[in-house]
Amino acid sequence: MEITRIGVVGGGLMGSGIAEVCARSGLDVIVAEVSPEAAAAARARVENSVRRGVERGKLSAEDADGALGRLRVESELDALADRQWVIEAATENEPVKLALFTQLDRVVADPDAILASNTSSIPIARLAGATGRPARVVGMHFFNPATVQKLVEVIPSQRTAESTVAAVTTFATETLGKTVIRAKDRAGFVVNALLIPYLLSAIRMFEAGHASAEDIDAGMVLGCAHPMGPLTLTDLVGLDTTLAVAESLYAEYAEPSYAPPPLLRRMVESGMLGRKSGRGFYTY
């Protein structure tokens, strides 16, 4: 089956990036948001990103116009009824995602349509259990910014059909131009199971006063050849997202390395969300 109609649930940083990647790949894309105001913000987010791509010479004006012409943003989930593939990219909150998958199972008319989640930590089997089509539910974890990062983690549950995994892998590699790694259906998958303890360790080091944010980041960039330091990366990911993933992993494994540092929780509670708010470790 040729996939041409894509739905994306959520138009935040990740959802808008995924939608842009799909639209730039020639697909018909509908983004579903929670309100007209959120829909307008999502549309503006994609338009701004596409405009920057043109300004930097990474995208022609003609291709930019074509991508935006293939993108619609709606404020009702019912707008996704005719989609062949839906990628959920809502907030990293398990009850929210479960409710969305229950709704998507009802809304998306084609029983063969694939329902994918961009979750970074929640086991796919739990989301699949909220639907009547678990064989067509899969994890498809993009990385921020989705327009630049090449990796997609593909995570099947025990009930995901191999035909679904094959279709997702082909779609991600051949249509979207991504590189796929396959992960087991366990909290955190591959990347975040390794990354989150690293980020939390950097936060604990900063919290304890063992080094400044600048020195922690410079140490990992210059000493370990990382493209950016852990605190800069945490700001980019979003402190709220980092906290949500850490809480999910700690609840699953109860390992100290996944326990959120008190400082991270205080920062999120005070509205310091990194790139999302403009306030993070370098403005603490």
pLDDT tens digits along 260-281: 999 999 999 999 998 878 889 9
- Catalytic residue from among 20, 49, 141, 248: 141
DSSP conformation class of 279: B
Active site residue 62: no
Active site residue 226: no
Tally of CA atoms within 13 A in the half-sphere of 236 that contains its CB: 12
Active site residue 144: no
Q: Give CA–CA dist 140/21, Å, rounded.
A: 14
User: Does position 144 have pLDDT exceeding 90, yes or no?
Assistant: no
pLDDT digits (tens, 9 = 90+) for 74-123: 999 999 999 999 999 998 899 999 999 999 999 999 999 999 999 988 99
In the chain, CATH 3.40.50.720 sits at: 5-182
pTM higher than 0.85 for the full model?
Answer: yes
pLDDT digits (tens, 9 = 90+) for 169-228: 999 999 999 999 999 999 999 999 999 999 999 999 999 999 999 999 999 999 999 999
User: Does position 1 have pLDDT exceeding 80, yes or no?
Assistant: no
- Catalytic residue from among 118, 153, 157, 248: 153
Under DSSP, is residue 256 helix (H, G, I), strand (E, B) or coil?
helix
Active site residue 157: no
State the pLDDT at residue 121.
Answer: 86
- Catalytic residue from among 120, 121, 157, 248: 120
The β-bridge partners of 279 are: 274
What's the one-letter identity of residue 254? Answer: A
Class for the domain spanning 192-269? mainly alpha
Q: Give CA–CA dist 242/117, Å, rounded.
A: 17
In the chain, CATH 1.10.1040.10 sits at: 192-269
Q: Give CA–CA dist 19/41, Å, rounded.
A: 14
5-182 topology per CATH: Rossmann fold (3.40.50)
User: How many CB atoms within 10 Å of residue 109?
Assistant: 10
